[in-house]
Structure 1
Amino acid sequence: MSRPAAPLALVTGATGYIGGRLVPELLRAGFRVRTMARHPDRLAGRPWHGEVEAVAADAQDPEQVRRSLDGVDVAYYLIHSLGSGPTFEARDRRTARTFATAAREAGVGRVVYLGGLHPDAERLSPHLDSRREVGEILLSSGVPTTVLQAAVIIGSGSASFEMMRYLTERLPVMVAPKWFDNRIQPIAVRDVLRYLVGSATMPPEVSRPFDIGGPDVLTYRQMMQRYARVAGLPPRVIRAVPVLTPRLASLWVGLVTPVPGGLARPLVESLIHEVVAKEDDIRGFVPDPPDGLIGFDRAVELALQRVREFDVTTTFSSASFTDAPSDPLPEDPDWSGGSLYVDDRETVVDADPATLWSVIEGIGGARGWYSWQLGWVARGVMDKVFGGPGLRRGRRHPDRLAVGDALDWWRVEKVEEGRTLRLRAEMRLPGLAWLELVADADGGRTVFRQRAIYHPHGLLGQAYWWAVAPFYGVVFGGMQRNITRAAEERARARV
């Protein structure tokens, strides 16, 4: 006898923050997964892409949505138009009605929607009011519906978390609205995903909203201070004033952080409300894990972990994929994941890759850094003054490097023999820095790729980058030219 097919889950918004993290969780839970997106090709680079059925559909087209829902057991509605302009409420309303009607006609077993936690107030911010209205539209569809209502979601890539991250890291002293002392119940993204997956199997007679939140109830001020402590920053100085309106506050957020103004404003406006769970009935259907819900401090640690164990990429948002929901994913916005500055250079070298590699692997120590010698010496002296290693450590072997070796003020983090050398800075810096040197064979050519990467720590880290950035052309440009020249001279000498 053949085994019954696993239930089919449709995930809308799979290119978004929650959707992209939900798909692998559903696959691990044994679901078949279909994704619905206007541009499904944007998911082609994901490791799970070959395990799902990807359909192209416009969420406002009734017929396309109806076809996408054919045969679906549970449909995840993760669509909202936040940040898309002043008419986002009307667009959200129209799209939700289209989806609700199509789900009923397709005989979908359950709809699961992630909305916003909100108080019982007559006047809500436009953002929260729209999320509330969408939940009501789906609940009235005739399809059993679970509406999960969450406040601030803690995880790299979450717009609310990123706004808090940038404000805390860039402003050691700040003037804040008085509603910075309103209470909020944040929740870790891992717990949100656990609730989403668990909601798929609720009994058919259950159709209602559920408040979801983590174990901590904090003010925004407290969240910033605790973020600072976890991130190793000094306590922030925050002074509340009664005259900073949501509009002015959103303009200020847009000025200080890379979060787009159209997204910052509705998020800031929502902070005027206290958002604390009024019930915890969800535990009757999705029990807490054995270790309990993830607290705020641990959720921040998980969100920052990817920075501390950084696999060097062009930006955090394009970091290599992992299964950790708190990590950045490729489809996250470019402004998410914290600040990252890159000096990227490449040159075609008239030498074979092995010769270029021999120069790269021999860098540092007595041979120096193929660059502005006076600048390197001065930086080394400054590092020693502030308690760093300076340039005196040299290297263990004159020609060979291994992972873990000290190399002047660097530490060898990765050696891909014949191709890649990655160094992590151990000099005294207000941030984290890497230097990556690559000897690449590209279509019969030898290409020398060089990348300096810097992740600032707090406002001092930002100031440091902008103070030294004008010298990077001399330091790293000179290094690029001189390593290239040395490799070409070594190649000619061998002929």
Structure 2
Amino acid sequence: EVENRLKSGSVPVTVFRAGIIIGSGSASFEIIRDLTEKLPIMVAPKWVSSRCQPIAIRDVLFYLLEALGNEKCIGQTFDIGGPDILTYKEMLYGYAKIRKLMRLIIVVPLFTPRLSSYWLIFVTSTNFYLARSLVDSMTIDAVCTENRIHTILPRKCLSYQEAIQKALEKTEENYVISSWRDTFSASGFDPDYYDYLKVPQHGCYKMECSKTFDRDPDRVFKRVYAIGGISGYYYMDWAWRMRGLIDRFMGGVGLRRSRTQREELNPGDVIDFWRVLQADKTHRRLVLFAEMKLPGEAWLEFQVKENTITQIATFRPRGVFGRFYWWLFYPVHLIMFPGMLRALLKKT
């Protein structure tokens, strides 16, 4: 569909069709890693026997860059893939071999695409929208049907094992520049998020709490910047994990998206089930918008001014159930939010 829409315009389009792209931050790599790392024994659907031709992200980037301005590529469609043709089962075993993990995969033919999607969202960091799209694509072979690109742009592509090794190195170095988690399609969130940039003042419930401190405000805000992901939320992490689990059961993103960068944040980045709207180090302000399943819209804001840190939770309810939801969790928030600030300052 994307290809057809782009081709419908007046500008010539060059199309590269790839199956599985292996690289740090790619959804395919994250799913392979999650499944293999977490499950010693996998009861897998029959699509793991489908064949594909995985290609390393650096090889994809090579073709994209070299095709620019190349007259032989303008308006053409090419299949691109690495040197290995593997089943998804072989790819999982290949990852396990690199990580020196003993794994057993049992194929069960009774999994429907929908059940397979739920299987992925409960085990991996993906969500239902992305899982369903991936499962639908994995039910058929994704192997190159032609290799014309090799004569136009010759290149020795990385093998699957080499691509996995490179991706692991980048992940371990925390050098993941971009990730599928940061995309709007990964959450089902409206990409026109400018409507949410300004936190509403009317028709909302608010909870505000502040704490004073006697240390460097930049150090305090640095701790605010590190919230979520492996750092957690500093207080009542079990409650955040439970809320994330509930969100997963409802088909939401949950907490498994974590965050791409551990220390840096930019508008549009994700932190678990939050989307970063504003990340202002100069004025020490961080504004997050909730992408979890909610009967309304929620914002979480942090401000650090001189010797005071302020946290503001804003909720704009949708209907009667939205109002019921706010008061249902109000007692929990009364304990959680002040506790977060106390714990945050204690760790600074």
C-alpha RMSD over aligned residues: 4.3
- Tell me the equivalent position of 2:14: 112
Equivalent positions of 1:88-103 (< 5 A) are 96=5, 99-103=6-10
Q: Offset at 1:481?
A: 6.7
Match status 1:250 vs 2:121: no
- Kindly state the Cα deviation for residue 282 of structure 1 after the two structures are TM-superposed: 0.4
Cα contact 2:180–2:186 (8 A) shared by 1? no
Q: Which residue of 2 aligns with 1:465?
A: none
Q: Take 2:73 and 2:165, find their aligned partners in 1: how far apart are those partners?
A: 39
- Post-superposition offset of 1:185: 0.6
* 1:295 counterpart residue number: 159
Cα separation, 1, equivalents of 2:184 and 2:82: 25
**Among 92, 110, 118, which residue is 1:224 paired with?**
92
Deviations 1:24-65 (A, max 9, x none): xxxxxxxxxxxxxxxxxxxxxxxxxxxxxxxxxxxxxxxxxx
- Preserved CA contact (<8 Å) 1:182 1:220: yes
Q: Which amino acid aligns with 1:282?
A: I
Using a 3 Å threshold, how does the CA distance of structure 1 residues 347 and 215 change in structure 2: closer, same or farther?
farther
CA contact (8 A) 1:155 1:302 kept: yes
Q: TM-score, normalised by structure 2?
A: 0.52
CA apart distance, 1:271: 1.9
The offset of 1:171, in angstroms, is 1.9
1:285 is aligned to 2:149 = no
- Between the aligned partners of 1:305 and 1:181, the Cα distance in structure 2 is 28
2:27–2:180 contact (8 Å) kept in structure 1:
no
Q: Provide Cα deviations, 1:419-455, integer angstroms capped at 9, x if missing partner.
A: xxxxxxxxxxxxxxxxxxxxx99532276xxxxxxxx
The higher-RCO structure (CA 8 Å, 6+ apart) is 2
Q: Which residue of 2 aligns with 1:214?
A: 82
CA contact under 8 A between 2:24 and 2:171: conserved in structure 1?
no
How far 1:223 sits from its partner (Å)?
Answer: 0.8
Selected match of 1:351 from 214, 220, 225: 214
Letter of the 1:444 partner, please give it. E
* Inter-partner Cα distance in structure 1 for 2:31 and 2:14: 27
State the distance in 2 between where 1:287 and 1:159 align.
27
SS at match of 1:161: helix
Deviation of the 1:275 alpha carbon: 2.1
Equivalent positions of 1:361-376 (< 5 A) are none
Q: What is the identity, as a one-letter code, of the residue corresponding to 1:298?
A: E
Consecutive unaligned residues in structure 2, runs of 5 or more: 188-208, 221-282, 285-303, 310-336
Q: Name the amino acid aligned to 1:182.
A: S
Q: Counterpart amino acid of 1:163?
A: I
SS class of match (1:229): helix
Distance 1:353 1:187, change over 3 A: same
2:179 to 300, 321, 328: 328
The structure with more radius of gyration: 1
Change (3 A) 1:482 1:209: closer
Q: Structure 2 vs 1, CA of residues 275 and 335 (structure 1 numbering), >3 Å: closer, same or farther?
A: closer
User: Following superposition of structure 1 onto structure 2, how do residues 43-122 of structure 1 map, counting pairs within 5 Å?
Assistant: 80=2, 96=5, 99-103=6-10, 108=11, 110-113=12-15
Residue-pair matches, total = 225
Give the C-alpha shift of residue 191 in structure 1.
0.8
2:9 aligned counterpart, secondary structure? helix
Q: Which amino acid aligns with 1:243?
A: L
